[in-house]
């Protein structure tokens, strides 16, 4: 005989057990899902901090957009160029590096990081300049007063023999080799390129001027009332004269000047151009402390951006200190430099030394050597290139200042074919006191930005 009540109770019990198992499984799954969701949300929020921070820095010019001119009014920091929305502003990057411990800058950055610790590294394109060899030296021998002279210009200690030369001209015209000597008359100009050391000798007046090769030489005949002639044949070149003669010898001894430049792209830099790290609201420069703080954090988020930088670097005046190299002016020259514009270099009276300025003019490099040999001597300047076909230029100032036309440093070009690169670096300075370099010509009005590559890397974390 079956007991229906017992069967129903067993069924109910089995069903109840199944319900309990299902509820337990659902509860456990829900808890796991909830934890996973919370973890995912937490990760997403953390990731968004770094991403949002870089977005605002790189996609906004900031508020106000000209915050780099007066950081006290800074509300939101941004690095985007006002004029070129696809590029960062080089001057804002430089200002950020300069004011990385400024309270207004720190506060704005902390607002972007939502109060979290962070480290921002900027890698900007770097150009390294190397100058070696010797600058050309000016030749200036004044024997222009008409006197009784016995002149010899040739090889050997006393100019006793002919010397190897090339590009020999008389009054601008090529001089043909001949077995007969050429007479030099008053007003004639003999020019040549000496391939070996020569000496200018006036035995009557006991003067001797050695000229090292290679050298470009011009002999200007002031007066040749007696015999002054040049022999130019297969044995070489030789100049000789005696009697009432006056000559001026100009030119330059060619130096073996070399200018090398190396462009370091951001990816290849072993250290950042500048770093800003903030821990617990305070800027920290000690790399060890930054790394230890990262190690204590349960999480670190990393983001990076590869960007273009619109670079114009300019100041009306640069104060160059001893031993310090610096980039002064950078950009693209859109127009020819006017004739009245010049570079003025000022030193303290009584100081002595030399300063080397290197410029990039399109695809060419030039170097300027400004020096003062003694406390009482005048400043001199040499403008030279590594191209033998381009003659160096020489300038002389007074005891404290010298002026060099910008147009000789940056020769004319055709602006219709596009702008050209213009960069000015102070490469070397041995003056004891600061040297002032002044742009007397406002060439900043002729500059457009040059675009270079950059990388920003950002780490965000939070200590427990």
- 4-59 and 103-112 helices cross at what angle (nearest 10)? 150
Exposed/middle/buried for residue 452 (C-beta within 10 Å: 0-12, 13-18, 19+): buried
Asked if residues 273 and 123 have their Cβ atoms less than 8 Å apart, the reply is yes
Strand ranges inside 203-316, DSSP E: 207-211, 215-224, 227-233, 236-253, 258-264, 274-279, 282-283, 300-311
- Eight-class DSSP state of 163: B
User: What are the strands of the beta sheet with 420-429, ordered from one edge?
Assistant: 393-396, 380-385, 364-372, 353-361, 420-429, 326-333, 447-448
For the chain, give every domain's residue range. Answer: 1-131+258-310+454-464, 137-253, 317-448
Q: Identify the H or E element spanning 35.
A: helix 4-59
Q: Is 409 left (phi over 0), alpha (psi -120 to 50) or beta?
A: alpha
Tell me whether strands 300-311 and 88-89 are parallel, antiparallel or unpaired: parallel
* DSSP bridge partners of 459: 119, 302
Per-residue pLDDT of the chain (464 residues; tens, 9 = 90+): 445 545 446 666 666 667 666 666 655 554 444 444 334 444 445 558 999 999 999 999 999 999 999 999 999 999 999 999 999 999 999 999 999 999 999 999 999 999 999 999 999 999 999 999 999 999 999 999 988 999 999 999 999 999 999 999 999 999 999 999 999 999 999 999 999 999 999 999 999 999 999 999 999 999 877 789 999 999 999 999 999 999 999 999 998 899 999 999 999 999 999 999 999 999 999 999 999 999 999 999 999 999 999 999 999 999 999 887 889 999 999 999 999 999 999 999 999 999 999 999 998 999 999 999 999 999 999 999 988 888 999 999 999 999 999 999 999 999 999 999 999 999 999 999 999 999 999 999 999 999 999 999 999 999 88
**Residue whose entry in the numeric block shows the structure tokens 């109060």:** 115
DSSP reduced 3-state for 169: strand
- Eight-class DSSP state of 154: E
Q: Distance of alpha carbon 158 from its chain centroid, rounded?
A: 47
The pLDDT, as a whole number, for residue 36 is 43
The pLDDT, as a whole number, for residue 205 is 92
Q: Distance of alpha carbon 110 from its chain centroid, rounded?
A: 33
CA distances from 129 to 47, 241, 278 (A): 40, 48, 33
The pLDDT, as a whole number, for residue 158 is 92
DSSP reduced 3-state for 313: strand
Question: How large is the C-alpha radius of gyration of the chain?
Answer: 37
Q: Give the number of other Cβ atoms within 10 Å of residue 28's Cβ.
A: 10
The pLDDT, as a whole number, for residue 77 is 96
Taken in order 58, 64, 68, 71, is the CA torsion positive or negative?
Answer: negative
- Eight-class DSSP state of 204: G
Collect all residues with Cβ–Cβ distance below 8 Å to 267 and sequence separation of at least 6.
123, 455
């Amino acid at each position: 005989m079956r007991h229906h009540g017992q069967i129903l109770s067993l069924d109910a019990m089995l069903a109840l057990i199944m319900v309990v198992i299902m509820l337990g499984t659902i509860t456990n799954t829900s808890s796991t899902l909830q934890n996973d969701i919370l973890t995912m949300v937490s990760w997403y929020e953390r990731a968004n901090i770094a991403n949002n921070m870089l977005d605002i820095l790189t996609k906004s010019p900031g508020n106000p957009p000209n915050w780099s001119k007066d950081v006290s009014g800074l509300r939101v920091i941004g690095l985007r160029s006002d004029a070129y929305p696809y590029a960062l502003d080089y001057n804002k990057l430089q200002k950020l590096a300069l004011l990385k411990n400024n309270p207004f800058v720190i506060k704005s950055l902390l607002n972007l990081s939502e109060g979290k610790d962070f480290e921002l590294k900027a890698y900007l394109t770097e150009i390294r300049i190397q100058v070696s060899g010797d600058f050309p030296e000016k030749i200036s021998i004044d024997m222009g007063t008409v006197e009784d002279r016995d002149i010899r210009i040739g090889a050997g200690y006393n100019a006793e023999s002919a010397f190897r030369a090339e590009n020999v001209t008389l009054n601008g015209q090529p001089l043909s080799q001949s077995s007969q000597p050429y007479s030099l008359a008053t007003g004639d100009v003999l020019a040549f390129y000496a391939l070996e050391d020569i000496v200018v000798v006036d035995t009557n007046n006991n003067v001797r001027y050695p000229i090292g090769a290679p050298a470009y030489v011009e002999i200007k005949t002031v007066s040749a009332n007696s015999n002054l002639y040049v022999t130019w044949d297969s044995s070489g070149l030789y100049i000789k004269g005696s009697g009432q003669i006056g000559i001026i010898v100009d030119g330059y001894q060619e130096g073996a000047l070399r200018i090398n430049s190396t462009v370091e792209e951001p990816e290849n830099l072993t250290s950042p151009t500048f770093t800003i790290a903030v821990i617990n609201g305070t800027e920290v420069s000690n790399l060890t402390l930054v790394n230890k703080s990262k190690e204590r954090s349960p999480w670190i988020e990393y983001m990076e951006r590869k960007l273009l930088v619109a670079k114009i670097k300019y100041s009306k005046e640069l104060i160059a200190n001893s031993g310090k190299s610096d980039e002064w002016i950078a950009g693209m020259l859109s127009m020819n430099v006017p004739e009245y514009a010049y570079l003025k270099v000022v030193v303290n009276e009584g100081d002595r030394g030399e300063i080397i300025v290197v410029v990039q003019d399109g695809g060419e490099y030039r170097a300027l050597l400004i020096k003062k040999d003694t406390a009482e001597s005048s400043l001199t300047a040499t403008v030279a290139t590594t191209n033998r076909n381009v003659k160096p230029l020489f300038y002389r100032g007074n005891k404290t200042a010298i002026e060099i036309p910008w147009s000789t440093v940056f020769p004319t070009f055709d602006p219709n074919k596009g702008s050209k690169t213009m960069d000015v670096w102070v490469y070397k300075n041995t003056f004891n006191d600061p040297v002032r370099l002044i742009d007397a010509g406002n060439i900043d009005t002729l500059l457009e930005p040059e675009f270079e590559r950059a990388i920003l890397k950002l780490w965000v974390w939070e200590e427990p």
